Amino acid sequence: MRMYDLIQKKKQGASLSKEEISWMVKEYTLGAIPDYQMSAMMMAVCFQGMDEAETLQLTLSMRDSGDVLDLSSISGIKVDKHSTGGVGDKTSLVLAPMVAALGIPVAKMSGRGLGHTGGTIDKLECFPGFTTSLSQEQFIENVNRIKLSIMGQTANLAPADKKLYALRDVTATVNQMSLIASSIMSKKLAAGSDAIVLDVKTGNGAFMQEESDAFALAREMVRIGNGAGKRTVAVVTDMDQPLGCAVGNALEVKEAILSLNGQGPSDFMEVVYALGEQMVLLGGKARTQQEARALLSDAVKSGAALKKLAEFVEAQGGDGSYVYHPELLPTASHILEVKSSEEGFVTRILAEEIGLASLILGGGRSTKDSEIDLSVGVLLKKKRGCQVAYGDTLATIYANNRNQALEAYGKIVNAYEIGEAPPEASMIKGILTTP
Ligand code: URA
């Protein structure tokens, strides 16, 4: 096979065969196909697209380019959850212990990632001693024992995707639906769970800002998951304001603990329950959404989910007592209140701007090697639909540097859109169980 011929074929709008895609991914990962040829192929895909069979084959080839976790020694149906990413998204910290408390095994790989705040791993490292550097044996042993473990992504997870994504990033070829869906799903499938719940976010702070694009991505990923033999459900959720009130690592951990104590912000809990219901259904512990919700709600009310979080933190070397004493978590030295200069109702909070405020404060990474400040962030006091009067506090900034706090102030003021009436808005835009 020659890469030149495959590029030519795709340029003319024909479909590539399974063998051609498999060969191309293998040779590219090995370094036998140069970046300039793969760039041409990616651009041809951007113009000509890929059909369902091609998209599935690309995903499977990227999945198989590295380690594929074997979780067969964990009993029960392993259900994973993935979010396309948003601002204030601490869902995993709450959902994983809730679901595990019901006896559904949660064997999760998470990342740090670039972004406005750290990833799930950074947030969990607010608990002193906590580590996700576990051997595969420890990881599996923990899930069998307490139903929950989170490990860092292995270096050799879907290496073809890692290489291809870096190339797409610098050749303006990220934004193609089949390429995005196969990239995300190759990593999820390599992580080895039996079923997958996807949280596809839409709105200002989301990768897919337009709702129609979010649904298209959701459909594509559900199709791939099911095509790969894993039951897959996607929930399309709102990101036209940050999720919950806390944005910033330790602040988000505190909010997660509050949520497990039954005091979570309503918008956040709506998303947690919508995703949790699907996980419980896929995990075979309930037959209806109502039944699943009742089980999840009981796990919170009884304190079982909070206890599961403490148990999980301890099992991975962390100090679980912080779960019962969140006041011990890192706190910033400066507090600054952001005041409203308008009256009316909050109609939108540009999540992207709030995320940037957190980044300015040091709560996120702008490069792979940046140090992260776990204590800083933003706590929103007024959310969408709230009435505000002149001089009301919209948000509180937690900072360790006054100049950074002032810079973040401007971003937060810009993020708030105030109108004359509260908007109609729903957190859950739709649930896709089949493509
Ligand atoms: N996230 C991914 O993992 N891959 C993409 O292509 C886009 C977002």
Residue whose CA is closest, atom 6 of ligand 1?
180
Token pair 């370094």 in the structure block, residue: 31
Contact partners, residue 177, CB within 8 Å, separation at least 6: 213, 216, 217, 220
Q: Please state the rounded mean pLDDT for residues 108-128.
A: 84
Q: Where are the domains of the chain?
A: 3-49, 79-325, 330-419
pLDDT band with cut points at 50, 70 and 90 for residue 119: confident
pLDDT tens-digit map of 249-299: 999 999 999 999 999 999 999 999 999 999 999 999 999 999 999 999 999
pLDDT band with cut points at 50, 70 and 90 for residue 155: confident
> Which pLDDT belongs to residue 201?
96
Residue 136 vs residues 68, 71, 109, 243: alpha-carbon distances, Å:
12, 9, 11, 32
The first and second tokens of residue 148, run together, are 């929950």
pLDDT over 90 (residue 218): yes
Q: What is the CATH number of domain 330-419?
A: 3.90.1170.30
pLDDT band with cut points at 50, 70 and 90 for residue 28: very high
Architecture of the domain made up of 79-325: 3-Layer(aba) Sandwich (3.40)
Residue whose CA is closest, atom 5 of ligand 1?
180
| CB contact at 8 A, 418 and 342 | yes
pLDDT band with cut points at 50, 70 and 90 for residue 92: very high
pLDDT over 70 (residue 114): no
d(CA 130, CA 142): 14
pLDDT tens-digit map of 55-74: 999 999 999 999 999 999 99
Three-class SS of 267-332 = HHHHHHHHHHHHHHHHCCCCCCHHHHHHHHHHHHHCCHHHHHHHHHHHHCCCCHHHHCCHHHCCCC
Q: Determine which one of 81, 112, 163, 168 is catalytic.
A: 168
The atom number, within ligand 1, closest to the CA of 184 reads: 3
Q: Please state the rounded mean pLDDT for residues 303-330.
A: 97
Reported pTM: 0.95
> Which pLDDT belongs to residue 117?
75
Kindly state which CATH superfamily the domain 3-49 is placed in.
Transferase, Pyrimidine Nucleoside Phosphorylase; Chain C (1.20.970.10)
Answer yes or no: is the C-beta of 180 below 6 A from any ligand 1 atom: yes
Residue whose CA is closest, atom 7 of ligand 1?
180
Answer yes or no: is the C-beta of 181 below 6 A from any ligand 1 atom: no
> Which pLDDT belongs to residue 113?
66
Q: Establish whether 18 is a catalytic residue.
A: no
pLDDT tens-digit map of 354-390: 999 999 999 988 777 778 999 999 999 999 999 999 9
pLDDT tens-digit map of 170-215: 999 999 999 999 999 999 999 999 999 999 999 988 989 999 999 9
| CB contact at 8 A, 177 and 258 | no
- Please give the torsion angle defined by the CA atoms of residues 141, 145, 146 and 147, in that order, rounded to the nearest 10 degrees: 70
Beta strands 106-110 and 148-152, pairing class: parallel
The first and second tokens of residue 84, run together, are 């396309």
pLDDT tens-digit map of 343-361: 999 999 999 999 999 999 9
pLDDT over 90 (residue 335): yes
> Which pLDDT belongs to residue 112?
74
